Amino acid sequence: MNSTASAATAVSLKGIEVRFETTALTFDCAIPAGRIVAVAGASGSGKSTLFNVIAGFEEPERGEVHILGKDMAGRVPAERPVSVIFQEHNLFAHLDVATNVGFGISPALRLSTADRMRVEEALKRVGLGGFGNRLPPTLSGGERQRVALARALVRRRPLLLLDEPFAALDPGMRAEMRDLLRDLHNEEANTILVITHHPDDVKALADSVLFLDRGRIVAHDRVDRFLERRDVAAINRFLGNQ
């Protein structure tokens, strides 16, 4: 963990309220910079909505989003210092891998020679050197996720949001992706929020856990403390306690 970065707050949500027809969600939290934070909670507890609020895809009815000290009011997703990797559909199927990664640098694909080298470097970094000309449908699920990660890498945003990045992967690939994320995090000193349904990911990857229950953040603990909690039924279910 980078000590300078950890003094700052990566994400601050104050009095956020999101209202859908059948449910309302409220978020308050302050996430220190330089951490890997697992975001967990039962299906429908609000994890994706939390990400959408931070990234700017969902406009809350009330409240403030600050990222690295800056108020995000009125800033569309592309103007926020955030990269998001969704569970699926991260890539354009008809464009080759290098082009997909190049979008991370320039949405208009005006890439200099140096930019193209950065793309190739990022592909090598995620173990996909030489894959630049392949089309996404010819890749495995894990390879596609790694392309999405390479695109996030070339963007160099200080906050990375990953929505169940390991969902399509077998246990061996999950462990590999977790190691890769840890390495990249150590190199970039960025802040990573990662949605997961697996206690194994929490233990192997995260510094702390943000746990949601029915549209609220009910816990934000260091991993060792979180694993000892027995006071919230939803956390017990997540951890498989009885």
Ligand X SMILES: Nc1ncnc2c1ncn2[C@@H]1O[C@H](COP(=O)(O)OP(=O)(O)OP(=O)(O)O)[C@@H](O)[C@H]1O
* DSSP, res 110: -
Q: How far apart are the C-alpha atoms of 176 and 169, rounded to whole Å?
A: 10
Q: How far apart are the C-alpha atoms of 51 and 56, rounded to whole Å?
A: 8
The runs of H, that is alpha helices, within 27-135 are 47-55, 97-102, 113-125
Considering the complex, state which of residue 49 and residue 90 has its C-beta at the smaller distance from ligand X.
Answer: 49
Q: Look at residues 78, 87, 88, 29 and name the one whose alpha carbon lies nearest to residue 57.
A: 78
Task: Kindly state whether residue 56 participates in binding ligand X, applying the rule CB under 6 A.
Answer: no
Task: Kindly state whether residue 44 participates in binding ligand X, applying the rule CB under 6 A.
Answer: yes
Task: Kindly state whether residue 186 participates in binding ligand X, applying the rule CB under 6 A.
Answer: no
- Report residue 81 as tokens: 């210092």
Task: Kindly state whether residue 83 participates in binding ligand X, applying the rule CB under 6 A.
Answer: no
**Out of 7, 14, 19, 20, the residue judged to bind ligand X by CB under 6 A:** 20
Task: Kindly state whether residue 47 participates in binding ligand X, applying the rule CB under 6 A.
Answer: yes
Only one of the segments 41-49, 73-81, 100-108, 113-121 lies at the binding site for ligand X (rule: CB under 6 A); that segment is 41-49
Q: How far apart are the C-alpha atoms of 185 and 58, rounded to whole Å?
A: 26
Burial (Cβ within 10 Å: 0-12, 13-18, ≥19) of residue 206 = buried
Considering the complex, state which of residue 46 and residue 142 has its C-beta at the smaller distance from ligand X.
Answer: 46
**Out of 35, 45, 100, 159, the residue judged to bind ligand X by CB under 6 A:** 45
Considering the complex, state which of residue 41 and residue 165 has its C-beta at the smaller distance from ligand X.
Answer: 41
Only one of the segments 4-12, 44-52, 59-67, 183-191 lies at the binding site for ligand X (rule: CB under 6 A); that segment is 44-52
Task: Kindly state whether residue 23 participates in binding ligand X, applying the rule CB under 6 A.
Answer: yes
- Report residue 195 as tokens: 């949605």
Which residues are at the interface with ligand X (CB under 6 A)?
20-21, 23, 41, 43-49
